[in-house]
Structure 1
Amino acid sequence: NLAIGSRGRLVQAVLSTLSEKSSASVVSVSSPVESKKASTAGAVETTAIEPSTSKQAMEPVVRTGTSGAKVSLMVNYMELKCAPGRGVFLYTVDFEPTVDSRPARSRCLEQNVHILGSTFTFTGDMMMLPVKLPDNVTKCKATNPTNNEPVTLTIKFRGAQKMSENVNFYNTLFRRIMHFLQLTEMGRKCFDPSQMRIIPQQRLEVWPGYVTAINEYEGGLMLNLDVTHRVLMQTTVYELMQTIAMADKKQFRDSVKKTLLGMVVLTRYNNKTYRIDDILFDANPQSTFDYRGDKITYADYYQRQHGIKIQDLQQPLLLNRTERMVSGSAKPLEMLFCLVPEICFLTGLTDEMRKDFMVMRDIATYTRVTPNQRVAAMQRYCERVNSNEKASKLLSDWGLELVTKPKILVGRTLDQEKIQFGNGTVNAGPNADFNRNVTDYQMLEVVHIRQWVLVHTSRDGRSAKTFLDYVQRCSRALGIDIAQPKTIVLPSDDLKEYSNLLRTRIPPGTQIIVLIVPTARDDRYATIKRICCSEVPVPSQVINARTLMNEKKSRTIVQKIIMQMNCKLGGTLWGIDIPMANTMICGSDAYHHARGADKSVTAFIASLDAAFTHWFSHATLQGAREEMGNGLALSLERSLIAYQRRNCQLPDRIIIFRDGVGDSQLQICEQYELMQLEAACKLVEPSYNPKITFIVVQKRILTRLFAVDRTTNDVTNPLPGTVMDHSVTRRFLYDYFLVSQNVRQGTVTPTHYIVLRDDCKFRPDILQRLSYKLCYMYYNWPGTVRVPACCQYAHKLAYLIGQAVKRMPDDSLTDKLYYL
């Protein structure tokens, strides 16, 4: 860990001491929480198919609030009824004499359907039945199909699984149902190629689909069902490689690897997806492999098996590495698949496509689904399952019945908030939007700008003049004094010009550097931020000259830039009433490079004042794909020291919102990261023992909430501040869903909050209202964001360091929001 060094060893020593004293052992945790590799369908934090075994013996957790106005909410959860006397009953099966072959054992069981029934699942030694047999020990006869010898089967009852233990099995049943419905599986999602929509002008296809998850929730066994889409290109990998070759023949191999590694492709002959893990330039379709005991070329294989003739026999091959469970193996085995670029189609979107307004608009025509459309699609799916003979029989055989109508529950909408500016207070309104007010009032706290530098190229002189004119006109209304800058004109847009300028020509005492650049370029932006964050630490503001050319919008744009400059210097824009004395609120998030090559970055943000408007920002670099290492203890220790320096005391309470933790990581997070927090407190002061509240924040979830009009049965997006904290919450977790954003198009997605620890013993209302209030405090948006501001700031910092800076920022910037 680049950011820890010997300090990390001290943390480990404290952790060891704490682990000896703690009843929750962390000896088995040899590594920090690691994020799973992105699946081919995109990562989903909450899938509800891996319940923690540690929760099974616990009593159900019911923590509901009361504040706010009641509202009827439809949820995308369908009740899954289990008939009385049905479930999953476990049996062991012994064979006398021993039958070694697993298929032969299954055949022996199939000979006794008159006793067992036609529905059962057999793993080789354990059998699952949907009903309990009359006797605890059942003996039956069969004939071994391999040698025709008689066999005696002894079937012993081992117990009935709890409903929460049936979850994984029921999810497996629904994967089979997807197959019955002729849907194509991609990761955890399934898509319907027969309903694809083609966007010919972009050479794209949009496949509609579904994603499901079954779990035992607070309100019983339910199917969480959502509508999803997958964008596929009508472009092959071979065509993309040709385009790369035409653009850069000398660096062809490097460019191909940089572009393709990590991408997911579709082979249309079997509608399966594969991740590209390597490019085999030394192999081609004429290379051979073993197939059923013989050597065969890839070209011949595709011709014989799929009727596909490979045109270019010299193209390199794509390599996919996949781990799969194999019968008789305790661990998954790595399997290698070689693919031919010519018949592999690209999925997803390139960065260029995402930046293209026309492309995104065309795609949104099919993917931006309204609440009414989403509910109708969900009901169609359920009706399709119940009307499919194989699917309905499978459910019936296991005693299950799928209800086709989504559940309607009672939720609450929290009170509207008041926004405090420097010279007045406004009500945010039901939509939590104060965009029109933000430029009419003065900023809450300003840092007057006396010494600053304005940089632009010679061709952007007009944009620079426009910018300065509006700065002079708008600054007084916002309550800030901005002196005339030192202006530096660059002769060209060359990267060396920016590097030399920033390293040699910035006067001491400069508060901020503003750079007006001709176009948006990632390499230029990264160079500027790398130097300004680590080599010559000074806040910087990069402006695209084109944004200043629109006369109708220039004034508003410059006003927002002035606000950003104030934040980057330590000023604040607005505030909100959060009555929590001597409390430090923190947010944490991590950045991982999409290809998994570069180091991961973890950002930690902590409040420094009673108004929760000033923040301490710290980042650590870690090994690739690590979610959190010992950096958490280091970051909290640094934050506590900064808090003590500013307030002359340490906080009594620490509230941490931890973003980016999936369901499968909760237990490790609870054991490993909470231990680090305690270690950090002891490093600051051995007797320091604050009350800690630790809340996991999940954004990538399947849950949807819809406001219901009882008179028209119409469904719409719920208002910001809507809370759902019962029935569809986890049975063994203290959790709640909160809608904090106002969405004008498509369907809003709530945020899932899981309280893993609460020493402060807050009432549910307090944590729910605190979560919502903090969503107002992100200074890049005059309204509410989807997560608490401390998490959004952590995301911005981690992204900046991971994408552009790629090294530790200078400590002099830690008390400023320099990364906005």
Structure 2
Amino acid sequence: MPSNNDYYGNQDRDHRDRGRGRDRNQSSDNRQGGSDRSRSRSVGHRSDPYDGGRGRGSSLPQRGRDYDRRMMDTHRQGQLRRHSGGSPYGPQGNDPPSGSSQGHHHNHRRDVDFNHGRRSQRDREPYEERRNFRREPPRGGRYNGGRGGGRGSWGGRGQGPDLSGIQACTTNILKAEVTEGFHFYEYSIHAEDSSGEIVDSPRRRRFLFNVGFWENLLKDLPKKQKDDFRKVVFFNGSTFYSGRPIPGLEDSSFPKTLDLGDRGEGDIMQVIRVRKLLAPAEVQVTRPEQNQNKVIFDRRIADGTKSFPDYKATLQFCQQHDKTPAYVPSDGTPATLEEFSAFVNSALKSALGEKLSRWGRDLIDPNKVTKHGSVGVSVYEAYRCEFGVLKKSDDEETTKIVSKEIKVLEEQRIATDPKVVLSESSVLNGKARGVLALTIDLGAKVIRDKSVLDELVGNRDPHSWNPSDKEKEQAKKNWIGQTVITKHDKRCYMVEGLDFDNSAESLAIENLGINHAEYFQQRKGRRLVFPKFKPMVRVLGRRDEVIHLPAELVCGNELDTDIKRKLPMIANFPPDVRNEAIKMVRGFLVPGGTGKQGILPGLGIQITGDRFTSRATVLPLPMVVAAGVRIPEDKKNMWAPTLNKCNYRFNPSEPNTLKVVLVHYEELTERSAKKVYFQIRQTVNKLNAFYRLSDEPYLFPAGQGSLHSKAVEECFRQGASSLPKENVFVIDFCRPGGSTDPAYSTIKYMLTRHGYISQFVNFSNCAHDNPGNEKVAKRSRDIINGVGRQILSKAGARLWWVQIPQGLPTPSVFVGVDVFHAPKEYDPELKKRVRKRSCAAIIVQVFRRDGSNRPTVELYSETVARKAGIEYDLESSLNGAVKTALKELNVNPMSCVVWRDGIGDSAFESEASKEIEGVEKALSEISLNESTKTPMAYVVCQKQIKTKLFAAGVNGEPDGKYAAPPGTLVQGIQGLQHDTFYINGRAPPRSTPRPVRYVVIRQDEELQGVSLPELTWNMCHDYPNWTGPIKVPSVCMMAHKLAELAGNMSDSGASMDNKGLKNRVHFL
């Protein structure tokens, strides 16, 4: 059974919604995000180090994030090129199209990352290193399904009905409520080690709690009573919660020192106080006024986990079994939303844990697994469930059924206690502002079938395998530093070495008196097939202790390139599968008709079963103009073919000619290199845009790996006298030996430090110099067309212009902010995982009303190196970047809109307010009129959410059968504090997309007439690296791209020439 150890081995952080950590040379233009990094929490005896895992998650995307169906917006490479004009991003693109982290953060995720933990270069530039699976939106001249037919071979919406006119969406959010008697207890704990220092490790604190609380404090309780407590007691780091008071922990006993015995090893844990907490005021049920003769109860049993669907059944059961109902408490303090959320979500995990198995933060059904022998992986359905509090709709009515039920029961009340008053929560709950809501999402967990043993021996017999010294060294080189996952309990570890001197049968476990083969058979129920096989895999456990694992029980956590490419075909959850998952999880949590043991009902948490439905609007394509021609409606999801035919009719002077320095791999002859360059030059120059490429390039051959970067360095050092001084553009024809080019970040670092822009073209997967056949030749032409457009975009040429809402005062400054957090990597010298510094990126772009007449962009970018894992505290950085941008771009803005990626709900009032203040100061300092403030709006973009949107009200079809189409806007699902809206930026036809949640933290009075959803949607079409809508506004995506690019550099972008790169979109 999967353990409760976090499979991802991530760190707790607010930017979890960001999902960063991608494969170094690949990511996708549509990845918005990031990965969810959580802290591994495993408890065990110190003498048994195998009970605690550490390390990263495996699953679909990468160490830091699992594969989410919503990201399956990718078509097969062949289908990506079906349409005339080809895809703007060929499968072997060369500065990889970017994205979401999170993802991520993201991901994020943002959105999907398939190499667990290392950044994906695919997300850097749409054509650079386009070697692996691609996650971009569907390509081609029309949307393949959804809006009005299209190809149906991809499933999902396929050739379904036209969804562009839907007016409502149902969601994967269920309504819930807490009963009048709901309350819980919060116990605060203090832990310190033998030297008097605070114990910070969550794993160690949990271990001490288990020993002191379960094994000592409650050791004398009857087994049944102790088992009941296990269902309602939840450890939460510095506190633990309980649904009932704990015997021995009364108010008078504090501080109470728990008995740890010898297992505490000198550490101390104390329970220092207890608080009785009620539901928060935002969701608390209003009760009738009590008097001395009447008490109030709800539909559950006190001191138990049994609940009933109505009051009559509750009274009957109590009368028959000598029980008492749960009475509404007359004392207690309303909990904060954070405390309430922590408790109900802990209870939710415990409740689902009775039916499902844990895998990291997710839950799986071990029986629901699909094996794909052709690619060597197994796919599990992963359930991600979470309680939250939403704002009640203005038109929400309290149920009349309960009101009627109460009236009937009052008339037919069992005369056991005339003082009892039936609860009337459903009638009186209308004064509460919030409603409890349960989100049920479905993802995938993917694990390889081949173990480390299988990888080592290949087709040979494991019993007789006897590797040579050379094979041993190669095996160590391949595996040390990699993350592996145990096949039996899904825990992840970092490989520290391979022990070729021992087998599971020969290596004893210290302090246990048994060998490893006996341990796994006795403790884990796994009898080894090859107990004598060498080597044992040495991995880092908790506190970086070395433990040994049999090679047959672990497999590599990182998926092969071919597997990643096929994931959208083998791991896909269309709407009907998600709907079934919602029904299944709901069935686990809703009590039966005659009463049912259940953790949630027993705690006073009821699932009503109704799914939230909200009004929805499908936003139209904004006015997108290229070369004076408006993009037609039928090209709204991909207008690359239209751009290929554009003529910008700009007659550039000599200064607008880009002097090209062409670096090519040594095997590519000078003649062949020029041949491909001339094709790119023709693609660029025929558009007659603001920039042109020079007739002849400056040629420099280069090797691979470190020789590649050295050649570029020599090129600009020794050849400086012969190279041009201005308008230099570097094109790099590379052919990396593997799927990624290790020199990429180094070369980017060298070039951006001196203000040079560059474009990589990968020859590994497409021989542009000698295509060989028409199929490859067409593929090469598609890629080169995209390379040409990207060169112009990087240089700063504006290839299309998007209209902004009329009410927005111009010139307007749009600001995008994102932070990249590098994943931990194994340091062979320190023999532990270490993390690089984080990197924040700030994009400032100017938009004018007459923008369609401007041939270039007005943009300033800046990066900020930060301590590892720090997401916030950007007030001064934002102030400095915006101030510098306004001076460099010579603009006095009439309005300002900030889109901030990666702020969690808990930081809205603190960190967001500080950042707003920083931007505000910069605007006021540059303003020509000191008495007039520049109006601004500040919007948080949350990509790594669990919400899904399904079309509702489709004629002749059940609600939820189809995913919501691209551009779907939902404003009916609101948080308690701030205006919120959701937009489906993309909608892949094969799966259910995840929308982005936008939270409006501030919108000044002068901008109240501006529709922020419309502005946000319009700017999702302005990203120069993708000829179609993306998930977030362009400045937000550009900040994500720049943060990732700089974050992978050795100095996290600190030496980047920001002013020299003004008006250049060099980071695509």
TM-score by length of 2: 0.59
In structure 2, the partner of 1:226 is 441
Alpha-carbon deviations, 1:759-816, whole Å to 9, x = none?
A: 3564486111111111011011111111111111111111212235644312311331
Alignment partner, residue 839 of structure 2: 601
- Do residues 813 (structure 1) and 1018 (structure 2) align? no
Within the alignment, does 1:486 sit opposite 2:697 as a pair? yes
Aligned match of 2:725:
508
Contact 1:383 1:404 in 2 (8 A): no
Aligned-pair distance for 1:443?
A: 5.0
Determine if the alignment matches structure 1 residue 758 to structure 2 residue 1003: yes
Cα deviation 1:542-570 (Å, max 9, x = unaligned) = 11232633322344332322221112222
DSSP-derived class of the 1:196 partner: strand
Call closer, same or farther: CA 1:755–1:246 in 2, change over 3 Å.
Answer: farther
Q: Which moved more, 1:443-452 or 1:100-109?
A: 100-109
Preserved CA contact (<8 Å) 1:634 1:680:
no
1:771/1:256 Cα in 2 relative to 1: closer, same or farther (>3 Å)? same
For 1:716, what is the secondary structure of its paired residue? coil
- Residue number in structure 1 paired with 2:485: 265
Contact 2:277 2:334 (8 Å CA) reproduced: no
Indicate which of 503, 525, 528 corresponds to 2:747. 528
Within 5 Å, give how 1:663-812 maps onto structure 2.
663-678=905-920, 690-708=934-952, 709-713=954-958, 715-726=961-972, 728-760=973-1005, 762-763=1007-1008, 766-804=1011-1049, 806=1051, 807=1053, 808-811=1055-1058, 812=1060
The answer to whether the 8 A contact 1:428-1:434 is kept is no
Report the counterpart of residue 633 of structure 1 in structure 2: 876
Letter in 1 for 2:904: G
What is the 5 A alignment of 1:7-46?
40=57, 42=64
Are the structure 2 counterparts of residues 598 and 430 from structure 1 closer, same or farther at C-alpha, using a change threshold of 3 Å?
same
How far apart, in 2, do the equivalents of 1:80 and 1:347 lie?
Answer: 41
Structure 1: which amino acid aligns with 2:169?
Answer: L
User: After the TM superposition, which residues 165-564 of structure 1 pair with which residues of structure 2 at under 5 Å, given as runs?
Assistant: 166-181=340-355, 183-219=356-392, 220-237=435-452, 256-258=479-481, 260=482, 263=483, 265-268=485-488, 271-276=489-494, 298=516, 300-305=518-523, 306=525, 308-309=527-528, 310-312=531-533, 315-321=536-542, 338-342=547-551, 344-346=553-555, 348-350=557-559, 353=560, 355-356=561-562, 359-386=563-590, 393-404=598-609, 406-429=611-634, 431-442=636-647, 448-456=656-664, 457=666, 459=668, 461-462=671-672, 464-469=674-679, 471-472=681-682, 475-479=685-689, 481-488=692-699, 490=701, 493=704, 494-495=707-708, 496-505=710-719, 506-519=723-736, 521-534=740-753, 536-545=754-763, 546=766, 548=768, 549=771, 550-564=776-790
CA distance in 1, matches of 2:570, 2:717: 49
Asked whether the equivalents of residues 445 and 573 of structure 1 are also in contact (C-alpha less than 8 Å), the reply is: no
Distance verdict in 2 for CA 1:617–1:381, change over 3 Å: same
Asked whether the 8 Å contact 1:35–1:627 carries over to 2, the reply is no
| Alignment counterpart, residue 610 of structure 1, candidates 848, 851, 855 | 848
Specify the code of the residue in structure 2 equivalent to 1:438: L
- CA offset at residue 43 of structure 1? 5.6
**Distance verdict in 2 for CA 1:584–1:473, change over 3 Å:** closer
Q: 1:702 to 1:764 in 2, by over 3 A?
A: farther
1:574 maps to 2:820: no
Using a 3 Å threshold, how does the CA distance of structure 1 residues 77 and 577 change in structure 2: closer, same or farther?
same
Whether contact under 8 Å (2:591, 2:601) holds in the other structure is no
The alpha-carbon distance between structure 1 residues 685 and 361, as it changes in their structure 2 partners (threshold 3 A), is closer
CA shift at 1:283, angstroms?
A: 11
Give the 3-state SS of the residue equivalent to 1:201 in structure 2: coil
Distance of aligned partners of 1:470 and 1:756 in 2 relative to their CA distance in 1, 3 Å threshold: closer
Offset from partner CA, 1:211-240 (integer Å, 9 cap, x none): 101122124222101111100112335666
Shift of 1:704: 0.5
Question: Alignment partner of 2:802: what SS?
Answer: coil
- The answer for unaligned runs of 5 or more in structure 1 is 1-33, 48-67, 93-99, 141-154, 322-333
* Aligned residue in 2 for 1:590: 819
1:46–1:698 Cα contact (<8 Å) kept: no
Relative distance call for 1:762 and 1:43 in structure 2 (3 A) is farther
2: CA distance, partners of 1:635 / 1:160: 40
Task: For 1:816, give the aligned amino acid.
Answer: R
Aligned partners of 2:444 and 2:571 also within 8 Å: yes
Residues 10-41 of structure 1, C-alpha deviation per residue, up to 9 Å, x if partnerless?
xxxxxxxxxxxxxxxxxxxxxxxx98669747
**1:247–1:281 distance in 2 versus 1, CA, 3 Å:** closer
690-699 or 492-501: bigger deviation: 492-501
The structure with the greater share of residues assigned to helix is 1
Which deviates more from structure 2 when the two are superposed, residues 409-418 or residues 798-807?
798-807
Output the CA distance in 1 between the equivalents of 2:1010 and 2:580: 33
Deviations 1:161-208 (A, max 9, x none): 469564333322321222221x22122210111111112233211111
Deviates more, 1:172-181 or 1:783-792: 172-181
Q: Is the 8 A contact 2:383 2:442 kept in 1?
A: yes
1:28 alignment partner in structure 2? none
* CA RMSD, Structure 1 to Structure 2 (Å): 4.4
Q: Pick from 244, 248, 251 the counterpart of residue 121 of structure 1.
A: 244
CA distance in 1, matches of 2:620, 2:479: 54
Partner secondary structure for residue 974 of structure 2 = coil
Q: Count residues with an aligned counterpart.
A: 711
Tell me, in whole angstroms, the C-alpha distance in 1 between the residues paired with 2:221 and 2:1063: 66
Alpha-carbon distance in structure 1 between the residues aligned to 2:550 and 2:517: 12
Looking at structure 1, the residues matched to 867 and 814 of structure 2 have their Cα atoms a distance apart, in angstroms, of: 27
List gaps (5 residues or longer) in structure 2.
1-35, 41-55, 67-101, 105-163, 188-214, 234-241, 251-273, 280-284, 297-301, 303-327, 393-434, 459-466, 825-833, 852-856
Q: Deviations over 1:635-685 (max 9, x none)?
A: 542332332343353x34332111123345445523554454456567768
- With 384-393 and 597-606 compared, the bigger mean Cα shift is at 384-393
- Match of residue 64 from structure 1: none
* Distance of 1:245 and 1:439 partners within structure 2: 57
Which secondary structure does the structure 1 equivalent of 2:713 belong to? helix
State whether residues 705 and 750 of structure 1, in contact with CA within 8 Å, keep that contact through their aligned partners in structure 2.
Answer: yes
Aligned equivalent of 2:418: none
CA distance in 2, matches of 1:541, 1:441: 22
Instruction: Give deviations 1:87-144, integer Å, cap 9, x for gaps.
Output: 336699xxxxxxx964179669969x9xxx99953354457899999879xxx9xxxx
Is the Cα contact below 8 Å between 1:517 and 1:542 reproduced in 2?
Answer: yes
Question: Aligned partner of 1:340: which letter?
Answer: L
Letter matched to residue 599 of structure 1: R
TM-score (norm 1): 0.75
Q: Distance in 1 between matches of 2:172 and 2:688?
A: 45
2:381 counterpart SS class:
strand
Residues 882, 919 of structure 2: 8 Å contact kept: no
